[in-house]
Structure 1
Amino acid sequence: MLNIDAIRSRFPILRSTVHGKPLIYLDNAATTQKPVEVLEASRQYYETVNSNIHRGAHYLSQLATEAHEEARKTVAEFLHAPDADSVLFTSGCTMSINMAAEILGLSGRIRQGDEIVISTDSHHANIVPWQMLCQRTGAVLRVVPLTEGLRFDMEAYARMLSPRTRIVSVPYISNALGLVLPVREIARMAHEQHADTLVLIDGAQSTGHMEVDVVELGCDFYAFSGHKVYAPTGIGVLWGREDLLRELPPWLGGGEMIREVTFEKTTYNDLPFKYEAGTPNIEGAIALAAALRFVRSVGMDGIESHEAGLTRRLLEGLRSMDGMRVLGGDEDRGSLVSVVVPGVHHYDLGTLLDQMGIAVRTGHHCGQPLMQALGITGTTRFSFAMYNSVQEVEKTLGAVERALNMLR
């Protein structure tokens, strides 16, 4: 079992009050709070080694470069990636997916009539970049529907796969529903259909909540944001198969991604620098590594078990309330829950909970096509992190009941 009091003591913001009430922060699917280990890593960077990295002959540049590249190794170890050179730093999961779409488009791999497969419960960041790629290339975007239980429809997916399928891009965990997709089977089926089909997993809601092994998952790309795994905003990762990244062209041009530049021709740098033009978010990468080390120190098995227990109790309590509709079943669920209450607007419920000190997310959660498919405008979403407690769940359930009584 996790020592929740000890964990919470590492997050200064959790001592805050909101509207005179102790903060209960249940908006972790949007962004997580930061432990002192991460705050100290950011401050130490600026106080002791702040300098631009690579090519600098002076001492601070060498220290900053070493710290930045050690951070890359930490990320690779966290993802069980075989080589740190396949870890590309980005500004977040959105940029990571856009980068994958852009370099695949530039490669000439995607042509008119080819097909790109996504899921109905995808985040906008896993929809729009592929739409844009289709518009540029003449490829066709295909969307896997959900079953009546709001699960990824594997039978429909199997029928959808064809020799024209070039990309399959799905979330590991739906950010709007909290349901875990069978990503291993999705990847296996895609690769069996066509050896050149590439699979990207949007890991924004899985990283930091469950063990991630990119090789075992069988994907070709894996993307996540640092700010959802206790690191700062503005830092993220795109992992790609090393052989694939070596073959694909660069995206952004500028410093660091070059080997030699003349007015007639430019040759490109080796991995990972080929994809990291310009000065990167050095502090962000270092703080991300600190966040991942913190997660490892707590223990992923303990985190997953603890969050699963909180989710079960929340589901049990919510389902006992009259008129409450919980989206999706209880099995194969991550640590977030979305609800709809007929006759009660999700924003009104979220606003009343805020007045009681409870932070939740309301709206369409960057999933407007999903909301349209469900015939709703949005949901109220509760999402957990390692620092949430059973006591917070019980207070939240009581607050939801009080809010509903006020709104009905």
Structure 2
Amino acid sequence: MFSIQRKTAVLGLICIIVFASGLARLFWLRFEAGDLYPPYSSLRGDPLGTQVLYEGLQSIDGSGATRNFRPLDQVDMAAGSTFVVCGLKGGEGFLAAGMWQALLARISNQGGRLFIAFMPGSGKEKSPAGGGRTGHASANASSDSLPQGPDDNRAPVSRSKPETGPPFDSGPQRSEWSGVMAELGLTLLKANTGEHAFADGARRSVAAAGLPEWIPWRAPHFFAADDAAWQSIYTWEDRPVIVWRSWGRGSVVMSADSYLLSNEALRRHRQAAFLTWLFRLPDRVIVDEYHHGLVDRPGIAGLMRKYRLQGFAAGLVVLVILWVWRQAAVFVPRPLDHRPKEDEQGIGRSVEGWISLMRQHIGPQDLLRTCYQAWRTSPATARLAQERIARVGHLVEYCGADARRHTPISVYKTICEMLAKGNPS
């Protein structure tokens, strides 16, 4: 019976282990593919993610690509840094957050580049009249005012706007913060496609060396510039879709679509020249994950990994398991045939305690006298005649006077025989 129960328990434990291993493997495959993360996240490995771009930037010598999980006002920007925000939704309240103001001020004072690529489906559902070029973004700007590569870290100045004010002018100043798009003087719009067949690519609108003439384009979005400092880099259907402007010591680049940075684009339509110009390699690249809702909140496990306490934790777990095991079971259990019953255990413990008490407090010369007094006051003497009790008392006094000759055991046996026979010896 016990063997059958044991086999059943072992089989059930094996089934539980196999099921847990399969479930863990399934979750691991999901996390490895990255489809649990938002689109255009650098942690996502399917066609909608940007993991290939991030790992490619990491593999380049001299280029340090890192992920940002902190608020934007805590980002450490420098002159050789490019902050990438990919897959941003144009209509969400995140663009109006005040943390953008601190990031723009840091770029203006310390340098660096801010690149924002929007999510397909963003933008306002309207198209300005005329259907041509929109706003003041110059589509014919010369290449002299455009940063040509990684060596250009100074603030380029647009020819359409003379340099005035302080040396680190951060663009148009507004008394109240109304969002990053309003601060930069740019609006994201969505084209009214209808039944019209639009082109599937954007063409270069500046004479910049190194940039490709044509890049693939998937989203019907474009920009309307409210500031003449914006320069159009690529246009789609004569509408600016990738624009650039200087911002103090740094610069800002906007893209109306994030397709060029996706894993799918790097497999089918890789634009290495455009990416080199965009990230100014081998400068430092910071890929933002905070706008995807991924926040770094270290818990106990994170702190243990940070301070390398995994070995201490493992030893503590083993120690607790051994303590629980020691308290739950005896290492060498008693045989089943020799285990005393509960009543026998109680009697045995009482006798052992009485014997231990007698050994500690009663001397050998007083043992007979003490036992006689205890017997004399017990209910057992009520059935005996006083003559027998007196004779037992005389025997105890006689033998107690010479304890060396009459041992307590021999006297005790004599008394038992006297009481059993009814006649004294």
Q: TM-score band, normalised by the shorter chain?
A: under 0.3
Q: Which has the larger radius of gyration?
A: 2
- TM-score between both structures, scaled by the size of structure 2: 0.22
Larger RCO (CA under 8 A, 6+ residues apart)? 1
